[in-house]
Structure 1
């Protein structure tokens, strides 16, 4: 059998993208994920589709996979730091939240929108340390 190239239907990309975005807006995340995955399989995707896949994964409860994909996007210079930091908070990785925001500050990025998450994370870290200290003291 010969290798044949499949030619997608005209406007397929636009249709899949529109259907996926509609599903995403209506919080039908599994359906949206299916549309965006089809775009990726057909190699018709772009950075926005990649980010939409991250959002779908996150909303479907596959937070670790969403985090990994988001990290890959950010490493390529695309993606959304707000979503990534929100995932870290959701995963209760407060040390990582603090480290990421400090790293962004060092790079000269305006971190004003992240300050409440930074303060919250620092508070949670202090609280965790205090709880560990109390448990340690109770043992001895």
Structure 2
């Protein structure tokens, strides 16, 4: 935690006043005032569990979730006796900000640890399950919209939009459909977008053969059986283009 100075000490009397006033403000839901006083305590190195929890509560009540997340991540790095209390708050922040993938990764990591107290194991598991459901609901809601937009971009030969949409669909963890796999032979689809689709098939361990037309080359490949796409001679040039295209589409979207 950043502190004002290692040599500056807050007199016990003033520390006690700040602690009492911050607690009173917190109880009365005067979160801005409470946060200001808690920050003063932290600034002079008066850090303890109650002060940390108070600050997190204020930030969350003020909808300053990014600050709350950053502060909580810093507390997690300390791995002190209150670690799992901070983890619980961290998972709550991630859930409230719809960061379901990050929440599931963190919860899964904690659930694999034998040191996790049983009394909070079930709470973490519930947060994991709820996040998994929310992620699935988002996928089911967004997928049709993304798919429609993708085929529209193919019809219009909007290459940058094709690539962006394929990446968006991949992120919602959808399994490629037959219609999407058919885009690998569509001349209106940019070669880099075809590479993104093929990588998607490989990520999903698609075991059936697919036909791909790229740069005048026709190939029949089984995505699952390709251990390292980057080492495949026919794909190396396309992957190089993919990096360049990705950078360009990111540039134009900002």
TM score, norm. by length of structure 2: 0.49
Measured after TM superposition, the shift of residue 130 of structure 1 is 1.7
Between the aligned partners of 2:110 and 2:30, the Cα distance in structure 1 is 33
2:130 equivalent to 1:120: yes
Matched with 2:89 is 83
Matched with 1:101 is 107
Query: Larger C-alpha radius of gyration, 1 or 2?
Result: 2
Between the aligned partners of 2:147 and 2:42, the Cα distance in structure 1 is 54
Gaps spanning 5+ residues in structure 1: where?
Answer: none
Residues 28-82 of structure 1: CA deviation (Å, up to 9, x unaligned): 1111111111212233332331232122112112110110010110111145222
**TM superposition outliers: structure 1 runs of 4+ over 6 Å:** none
Measured after TM superposition, the shift of residue 118 of structure 1 is 1.6
Residues 92-138 of structure 1: CA deviation (Å, up to 9, x unaligned): 00111111110001122142112332221111111122223322443
Q: Look up the SS of the partner of 2:45 in the other structure.
A: coil
2:61 equivalent to 1:59: yes
Q: Look up the SS of the partner of 1:17 in the other structure.
A: helix
State whether residues 29 and 56 of structure 1, in contact with CA within 8 Å, keep that contact through their aligned partners in structure 2.
yes
CA RMSD of aligned residues (A): 2.1
Matched with 1:133 is 143
Q: Look up the SS of the partner of 1:72 in the other structure.
A: helix
Between the aligned partners of 1:42 and 1:137, the Cα distance in structure 2 is 54
Matched with 2:215 is none
TM score, norm. by length of structure 1: 0.84
